Amino acid sequence: MVNIAVLGYGTVGSGVIEVLRLNGESISKRCGHDINVKYILDLRDFKGEPVENLIVHDYSVILNDPEVKIIVEVMGGVEPAYTFVKEAILKGKSVCTSNKELVAKHGAELLELSKAQKVNFLFEASVGGGIPIIRPLNQSLTADEIEEITGILNGTTNYILSKMSSDNADFDTALKEAQNMGYAERNPQADVEGYDACRKIAILSSLAFGMQVDFEDIYTEGITGITDTDVLYAKAMGASIKLLATSKKVGNHVYAMVAPMLIKPTHPLFSVNGVFNGIFVRGNVIGDVMFYGSGAGKLPTASAVVADVVDAAKHIGTNIMTFWSSKKLELRDVKAVEHRFFVRVAGCDDKARALVNEVFGEIEEVKVDGREEEYSFLTGFLSEAAFEEKADRIGKPLSRIRVMF
Ligand code: HSE
C-alpha cells in the first residue's frame, strides 16, 4: 500500500478522491499497489462528509509522517504551494500537481531537486486538464526535435469564443456560463487575458526545448478585445477565432506568443470547440501529432493527477528523468514574426480605401452585409513591427486579428 496526502479539497482535490473511489480497484491493479489517502489538508472541516476524518489543518502532520510517500498538491497559486512542495521533496516525498502557476515558475528547480532526492515531481494535469501531453513530450516524443507546439490551452476562453460563434452569445453571458460550470479561474482575468494559456505554453515550451522559458517573456494577448462583429466577419470568411498559444522554432530561434487568431477548417485546431482543448505538435521526424480532450473540469483534471500518482507509486526510489534545464531560453522578439492580419477600420469612403491601399499594398477585402460603414480586409504577410507601423499610419483600427491562413 502507498499512502498519499492531498493538499486542497477543492474542485480538483475532491475529484482525486472521487476517481480513487470510483476506479480504485483497477488503479491498484495497474499500479501494483493500493493507493490510500491518509490525509487531506484544507482550512475547512467538512463536518459530516465522508472525508471528515482525513482532514488536517497543519501541514507539518503530513510532512513529518514517513508513511506518506506521495503528496498531491491541488491548491493552486504559487504560495504556499511552492514552500509545501519544496519541503515535501526535501523530505523524500514525490509530488503530483495540477498547479500551472507553480510549474511555470519553479518547474526546473523542483525537477532538479527531485532528481537529487530520487523522488518525482509530476505535473501532467497542469496543462490540458485530462489530456496526456506532458508525458508524451517527456517520453513518447523524445526521438524528435520539436519544431512547433500550438494549442488551445484554455477551456474558458474556448468556451466563450465557441458560444459567441454558435449561439451569438455575448462575451459576459458566455463567461458567466463557463464560471458556473467550474472551468474559469477564481480570477477570470487569468483566463480572458490569456495569462493561463501563457503559463501553459511556457511549460510545454520548456519541456519541448529542454530550457527554461519564462512566461513573462511570452507576448500575451487575451480575448477581451474580440467583439460580436469580429465573430460575424470570421464566419463570413468561413473561419473561426481561437485563442492560440504557440511556440515555434524558426531557424535557430524560438518564438512564443498567445493571441486570438483566425483559423480555417484546414487547421487541425478548427474543430476544437467548447471547453475542449487541443494541442498540435510538430516533430522533425514524426511530423504532425494532435492531442484532444477535456482541458478543464473536476474529473478530467483529477484523472491526470491520479495517473501521476500511479506513476510516482511505481517509481518510488527512482527519479523519472525530465529534460528541463534551468538555463533560460532567450525567445525571438515577436516583432519580427510574420503573419497575415485581418483589419477593420471605420469609414468606407474612397479616401479611407485609398489610404489603406496605399499603406498596405495588395489587400483582400472582406464584406459582411449590414457593415457598409467600415472597411475590412486581410493583409499580406507582415512582421508585427511592420504591421504596427502601417496601422499607425491609417489611424487606430476597430480591430485587428492575426490570421493563420
Ligand atoms: N481555467 C482553466 C481553463 C482551467 O479554463 O482552461 C484549467 O487549467
We report the CATH number of the domain holding residue 31 as 3.40.50.720
Write the pLDDT tens digit of every residue in 123-182: 999 999 999 999 999 999 999 999 999 999 999 999 999 999 999 988 989 899 988 888
Distance 211 CA to ligand 1 centre (A): 24
Q: Is 262 annotated as a binding residue?
A: no
Average pLDDT rounded to a whole number, residues 319-341? 95
Closest CA to ligand 1's atom 4: 296
Distance 161 CA to ligand 1 centre (A): 14
Collapse the DSSP code of 395 into the 3-class scheme (helix H, G, I; strand E, B; otherwise coil) and give the result: coil
* pLDDT band at 253; cut points 50, 70, 90: very high
Percentage of the chain modeled with pLDDT above 90: 90
Residues 101 and 143 in one domain: no
Q: Is 100 annotated as a binding residue?
A: yes
CA distance 199 to 24: 32
The runs of H, that is alpha helices, within 142-227 are 155-166, 171-180, 189-192, 195-209
Write the pLDDT tens digit of every residue in 84-140: 999 999 999 999 999 999 999 999 999 999 999 999 999 999 999 999 999 999 999
User: Atom of ligand 1 at shortest distance to CA of 126?
Assistant: 8
Is the pLDDT at 287 greater than 90? The verdict is yes
Is the pLDDT at 372 greater than 90? The verdict is no
CA distance 80 to 77: 8
Is the pLDDT at 348 greater than 90? The verdict is no
Residues 96 and 157 in one domain: no
Distance 74 CA to ligand 1 centre (A): 13
CA distance 192 to 210: 28
User: Atom of ligand 1 at shortest distance to CA of 178?
Assistant: 5
| Lookup: cell for 4 | 498519499
User: Atom of ligand 1 at shortest distance to CA of 296?
Assistant: 7
Residues 271 and 374 in one domain: no
Q: What is the pLDDT at residue 183? A: 86
Collapse the DSSP code of 349 into the 3-class scheme (helix H, G, I; strand E, B; otherwise coil) and give the result: coil
Distance 109 CA to ligand 1 centre (A): 24
- Phi-psi sector, 370: left (phi>0), alpha (psi -120 to 50), beta: left
Helix axes 81-90, 100-116, angle to 10 degrees: 10
Residues 260 and 154 in one domain: yes
Residues 239 and 144 in one domain: yes
Residues 195 and 90 in one domain: no
Closest CA to ligand 1's atom 8: 296
> What's the domain range around 156?
135-294
Is the pLDDT at 259 greater than 90? The verdict is yes
* pLDDT band at 186; cut points 50, 70, 90: confident
Residues 197 and 244 in one domain: yes
Average pLDDT rounded to a whole number, residues 57-73? 98
How much is the CA Rg of the chain, to the nearest whole Å?
23
Domain boundary among 328, 348, 371: 328
Our separate counts of H helices and E strands in the chain read 13, 17
Nearest to 240 by CA among 231, 253, 248, 228: 231
CA distance 309 to 49: 24
Burial class (CB in 10 A: 0-12, 13-18, 19+), 344: buried
Q: What is the pLDDT at residue 337? A: 95
Question: Is 29 an annotated catalytic residue?
Answer: no
CA distance 202 to 70: 26
| Lookup: cell for 108 | 526546473
Ligand 1 binding pocket (C-beta < 6 A) is 129, 154-156, 183-185, 191, 196, 295-296
| Lookup: cell for 169 | 452569445
Distance 182 CA to ligand 1 centre (A): 9
The 8-class DSSP code of residue 140 comes to I
The number of domains in the chain is 3
User: Atom of ligand 1 at shortest distance to CA of 185?
Assistant: 1
Residues 59 and 112 in one domain: yes
Percentage of the chain modeled with pLDDT above 70: 100
| Lookup: cell for 398 | 476597430
- Annotated active-site residue in 38, 69, 200, 298: 200
Domain boundary among 275, 308, 328: 328
Q: What is the full DSSP assignment across 230-283?
A: HHHHHHHTT-EEEEEEEEEEETTEEEEEEEEEEE-TTSTTTT--TTEEEEEEEE
Q: What is the pLDDT at residue 181? A: 85
Is the pLDDT at 206 greater than 90? The verdict is yes
Residues 317 and 345 in one domain: no
With helix as H, strand as E and coil as C, how does 98-138 read?
CCHHHHHHHHHHHHHHHHHCCCCEECHHHCCCCCCCHHHHH
| Lookup: cell for 145 | 526535435
Average pLDDT rounded to a whole number, residues 54-78? 98
| Lookup: cell for 41 | 489538508
What's the CATH number where 338 sits?
3.30.70.1150
pTM reported for the whole predicted model: 0.97
Q: Is 224 annotated as a binding residue?
A: no
Answer yes or no: are the C-beta atoms of 309 and 161 closer than 8 Å.
Answer: no
Residues 243 and 377 in one domain: no
What's the CATH number where 181 sits?
3.30.360.10
Residues 361 and 302 in one domain: no
Is the pLDDT at 308 greater than 90? The verdict is yes
Q: Is 11 annotated as a binding residue?
A: yes
Q: What is the pLDDT at residue 347? A: 85
Q: Is 283 annotated as a binding residue?
A: no
Pocket test for ligand 1, best of 191, 192, 204 (most atoms within 8 A of CB): 191
Grid-cell match 482575468, residue found = 189
Residues 250 and 303 in one domain: no
Average pLDDT rounded to a whole number, residues 202-220? 97
CA distance 326 to 324: 7
Answer yes or no: are the C-beta atoms of 40 and 54 closer than 8 Å.
Answer: yes
Max alpha carbon distance in the chain (Å)? Answer: 78
